[in-house]
Every structure is written in C-alpha cells, then in structure tokens.
Structure 1
Amino acid sequence: MSEFKTGLEFAKQQDQNDILKSYRDAFYLPKNKNGEPLIYMTGNSLGLQPKATKQYINQELEDWANLGVEGHFEAKTPWLPYHEFLTESMAHVVGAKPIEVIVMNTLTANLHFMMVSFYKPTKKRYKILIESDAFPSDKYAVESQLRHHGYDDKEGVVLWKPREGEELLNYDDLEAILEAQGDEIALIMLGGINYYTGQFFDLKRIATLGHKYGCNVGFDCAHGAGNVQLNLHDSGADFAVWCTYKYLNAGPGSLAGCFVHERHAHNRELNRFTGWWSHNKKTRFNMRGEFDQLPGAEGWQLSNPPILSMAAIKASLDMFQEVGIEKLTAKSKKLTGYFEFLLNDLSEDAIKIITPTNPDERGCQLSIQVKNANKTLHNKLTEAGVISDWREPDVIRCAPVPLYNSFEDVYQLVEKLKTILNE
C-alpha cells in the first residue's frame, strides 16, 4: 500500500508536517507577469537565489569600498583565506574530509586539471571510459585530453552503453567492458548522476571495480552535489568535480568544487598544473623561493579566490550546514516519491518515467520521456506556469528540490500536466 494519496488535501498536509518548510521562504521564487509564483522545477539546471546572497555579497563590496587591499586581512570574512571558510561545509555536502575538498575554478576547468594528474596514458593503457550519453562537456573534455596526448579521440574513448531498448546503464555490462579492455583503460570518468536519465551510479562499486583493473576513477558530480549523499571519501574514487550553480544555489556560472582522495594528499610526484595558491601558505609571499606544494586538494589551486562568487557560495553553504544533507535527502526521497506516485496515477501512454524507481539510485530529478518526441507538451507546460527543461531528443526533466519546492508544487504540476494531456 502506498504511503501517498491523491488530492490537494494530502499535499497540503505533507507541507504542513514538513520540518524544512520554512526554507522555502529563504529563496526568491520566480513569478509570472501577474506576480503569481511559477512552479520552478529546474534546480537541476540553475538553483534559485537565496535571499541572504545579496547580504553576503554586499558585505564584501562594503569591505572592498572601506578597506581596499587591507580587506585581505581585515574584512569581516578575510579574503586571503576565504576559500577555507567553505571547506568544512562543502566537505559535509559531498561526504568527504576537509583535506579532500577545494572550491576553485569552474567545472570543466577542474575536470581538465584533474585529468592532468589522473589521466596517465601509456602505449598500452591510454583509453578513457565514459557513459555513452555523458554530458557533452565531459565528452568534449575527454576527447581533447586524448588528442592532447597524441591519441585518436574516437578510438580512445570506450563507451558504457545501455542495452537495446533500455535507457539505464547495467553494471554487468561495465564489468564485461573492463574484463575485455581493462588493461587498455587508463581512466574511468563518469557522471555521478547521469544528466539525462537521472540515474545515480554506485560510485563505490565503480571505483572498486576500476581499481581492480588498474584504472584511475573520477566522477563529474554536477548533478549530485547538494542533491544526493555522494560519500566521496568512502567511494574510494581518485577525484571528483562538481559545479555550485545547480543544487548548491550559488548563482549562474559560479565557482566549482573539487575532491581529491586523501591517499593522494601528500603525493608530490603526481603530475599537476600549479600556481601560487597551491604553494605553501607560510612562504607564499616570499615570492622568490622554490615551489613548495600544499598537501591535499588545496594543492591543485592556481589563483587567489574570486571573493564575490565565493560569498554567494558561502550564503548557500551556510544554509546547507544548518539543514544538513541527511535531512535534505530524506525529504527529497519523499517529495520525489510523491511526484512519481502522481505521475504513475495518470496512467498515460503518452509519457514514461525513465529515471530509476529505486530511491537510492536517483536524486530528486525525474526524467519524463515523451513518447512521440514532441516538444509541444513541454511548451504547453511552460505556458501553464511550470518551469521545467527539455532535453533532446524526448525528455522533460523536472527536479522538485527539497530546500524550496513543496508537495503542493508537485501536485499542481501534475494537475497541469493532466489537463494538457487530456486536451
């Protein structure tokens, strides 16, 4: 028997009992031309702005205006070590130790920096394994690394594909690939959650399997950070990267995060690109000394931190620290389960959920496949006041984010969808 019920009254009751309900008011909700709130379901693309963000950024603008260069030491949150104020809360979000985490650069830049260190091709072992429908940026980055090292960018990519007629990837197929080609694969680089299907991969299983065959293993967790419990340290992955503008609500194009497992923390032999922010903090400003590598993920930094962007990240991370990723994911599973229940109750042949049904194998995103691959349904949803997104060739992605989406949001979305499908 389902824990969920149809009808608006049930949705309102769930919202009433929701221990995180007050956080919805901590965000700006987009409105239509009449000033009515839209149903925002694209936190998987761009998270909403926390109301506190302006205050956090204004503080830095004031400190810059009043202190000038002295803000590096005397600002309310001193700029020189600013990235350190994000480390502990970010580490908690992604399930890592503070020494393993750094906020720096942007997502694909970090992916390239990680591949400088962890893609170490040899004449025999040079291939890179990715999922067949990886996010395009990952695919382009991997191909360019192959070209950079003098390999063919198509022959050097090994694709983990779904079986014919299926959307989700099967671990038996991954094992078969590694059994056949493991000694030729230098790096496994997968999306932690696939952007299209919403499938959350078993990171520990994949890392263990990859290491068994001598491969380095990394994950792009752009759709995982702030959405699911990644447990990056326990996964054993060599590295991971993620952005902060989706579920972490840090603003468009904001800085990204990086994880490097602590077993690599003191390995100075790892090849890497460096800059003065990866140099020993105690002697950084001596200027003329030889390079002295910082331990841990900090040792992959290049430049001093961009404070205004970091202030926006801090505004969001302070909220995550207050709530805790455990409470967020608990609500997420319930909210997404309710969404799935209502969609299944429609009994519509025109649509199909392709995201895994197991709550442990997905985050809050449900990918709704439109049977006739017609974008009209998505367009009509938009006209009805629902902000979702369309991904070619045939999927509407909707993500009820636990920090600011409500059960009533989900109910109203499905009611609007029902009306459109019945037209």
Structure 2
Amino acid sequence: MFDIRWIRENAVAFDRALAKRGYEASAAKLIALDDSRRSHITKLQEAQERRNAASKEIGKAKGSGDDARAQELIDEVAQIKAFIQSGEEEERKLIADLEAAMAVIPNLPHDDVPVGEDEAGNVLLKTHGEKPVFTFNEAPKEHYELGEDLGGMDFAAAAKLSGSRFVILKGQIARLERALGQFMIDLHTQENGYTEVSPPLLVHSDPLYGTGQLPKFEEDLFKTTTDHYLIPTAEIPLTNLVAGEILPEDQLPLRVTALTYCFRSEAGSAGRDTRGMLRQHQFQKCELVSVTKPEDSLNELERMLGCAEKVLQKLGLHYRVMTLCSGDMGFGARKTYDIEVWLPGQDTYREISSCSVCGDFQARRMNARFRPADSKQPLHVHTLNGSGIAVGRALIAVLENYQNGDGTITVPDVLRPYMGGLEKIG
C-alpha cells in the first residue's frame, strides 16, 4: 500500500518505478480518485458548516417571532442532514475505491535492483562451495527415483488420498525430513537470534491483505470457510503479529521464526514440476521474519540472507545467490535475493530460499508502526521475510547431493544427531 500524498508529490518517479516492474502508469488514475474523494469531503464540510449556521439562525428567527423564516431554516437543516447522511456513505465508497485501486499495485523496486522482465534478468551475486563429484559411472538420479527405490516416497498412495502434488514419506526418509526441520529451527533460535513462534495455520482475510496476498492472489490460496484460509507461508501470521500495533523503538529489531506446514494451490504453475516434490500443495518451511526501523532494513536483509545461507553451508550444499530483477520480484518486495541450490539429478540450480525487504509496504496495509524515542509521532516499521529454508527442497537437495552408487544416501554430519546417529539411509 502507498501514501497517496507521496504519490501526488512524486507522480513521475512513481510511474517510472512501476514501469521497471512492467506495470502501466497509475499515478494519474490514483490522483483522480483522490481528487474525487477530496472534492466530496469539501462538499460535506461545507454542508456541515451551513447546517451549524442554519441551526443558530433558527433560534434567532424564533426569538424575533419570524416563524416563517424559522420553518424555512428547519426544512433546510433537514435537507442538509439527509445530504450529509448519504454523503458519508458516498465518502466511504470513494475511500474504498481508492484503497482497492492501490491494493493491486506492487511495491516499488529499490534503486539498486536490476531492471528486467523475468528471471532472465536476474543477476548472480555469489556462489558458495563446489558441485559434488560422484565416483559411480551412472548419471546421478533425481530425488523421486532415489526416494521410491528406497521405499521412502509414495506418490501413488498420496494421489489416492489427495490427488496430484502430494507425497507420502516413510521410514528414514520421513525422519530425514523431520530432522531437517528441527535442525533449521534450532539453528535460527540458538545461533541466529530468532524467537520461535508456533502460529495458527488458518488465518482470516485481513492478515492476507496485510502481507499482500489478497486481493490480487486469491486463486493461489486454499480457502476453507467464509473467511478462513490455509497459510501459503508463515510470513503471514508472523508479520501480522505487529498489525495495528505501535511498538516502542527499543523492541526493534523484532526477529521471529516458525517451522510450519504451508499450503499453495499452485494455480499459476499448471504443468510445471509435476514429477517429485519440487512443487507441492502441502510442504514444510522454516520462515524468518524481521521488523525493523526504516534505516535498518537494508542491513537486515543482508543479515537474513546470511542466516539462510548458513543452513546450506552447514549441510555442505553448493548454491548460488541471485539478485532478482524488477520483473521477477514478489508483489510486496522492494529487493529480493534468491538462494538456488545445486541439484545434480536435474543438473541445474533450483530456488530453495527467497529473502525480501518490503520497506513500509506491508506496514501501511497492516497499520504497523513504532514510536521513536525522540519523537511523539509514530512511524511505519519496515518488514522483511525469508525462507530459512524450504524443508522439502532441502530434502531433495540432500538426497541428490549425498547419493551413493549403491542407492544409499549418506546423512550429512550436522543431521546425524537428529537421526539417532544414523550415517546412511539404505
């Protein structure tokens, strides 16, 4: 969400920034809607002033015995009252029209974000580690081949229960997934300074509006009742912990994390990644959320990226970090880093984490603010979110990178305490 006063003062810059994201110029339309609102409010204020004045004149007319004039004024006040009542409803409609128009416009990219239309415009920031070298002669297998051969992945049984894009994990593969999630949440709470939260998996529409999923992306959500949705990411309940709040400055930065199931309809990805676990309707993810003062948010993005990278570093996985271009960022982001892990079975990199700074975009939608120590005027906070990391994709990466020629999977050292000391899955 944006400040319409800022748009008025920076209309050209606003439209230029939208153009970087591939959106049409919108400043003139938004200003016109605001002009209608302002004009109507002026008429209401003038009507209220006339009503007050006429009410005083009624008393004077009666006091002077001019009953005819008094009746004229009484009739005028009644008409004005009716106009104001209908006018207040019209004011609410004009405000709603302006807010609805702004609600579907994406956040503006930061100045240092590369300009591009899609993922082809993303820029390599850095790489870490080396691709694994296998001693067996066959080509590395994909995760679903490994999982099915080990009897630990059953897509057919899941399809009988729930349809496509689900999987049943069994035995040590199920335990490995659980170990990954526990390792991540322990790392972020014990080493990275995040507070663990166990949030609801069902939320009302307001939190989804606050973080930008509604109204634009409703088709990507699973709606369960009139006003309940399954969360597509724990970003939603975690970020909305500060919705409607005015935080003391000394409570910032606020850093929270959660290991939860997430649910996505994948409405826009028909036909993509239909084999295996890469794109599921239900998956686990360890989410990181930060709430900061405005001047601290860009540094916090770098810190958050480092926290997510540490997961892959401790797992011994090769990855690269990409700075997303303006056309490939998420709706609410001002700047985003994607971490892409190497998958030898696919012979390619795949996204496993995305870390974004949103500026005050979400805070304005949620009305989340803080009070500076040296000021009585509250300011909007800045929000950030990142995957720390996607558990299912981490499972895929471990299976493919730690596979052996005999079909077994070596358990990474850092996960063995969570696996009862198990060194290989076979």
- TM bracket (short chain): under 0.3
Which structure has more strand as a fraction of its residues? 2
Q: Larger relative CO (CA 8 A, sep 6+): 1 or 2?
A: 1
Bigger radius of gyration among the two: 2
Normalised to the residue count of structure 2, the TM-score between the two structures is: 0.25
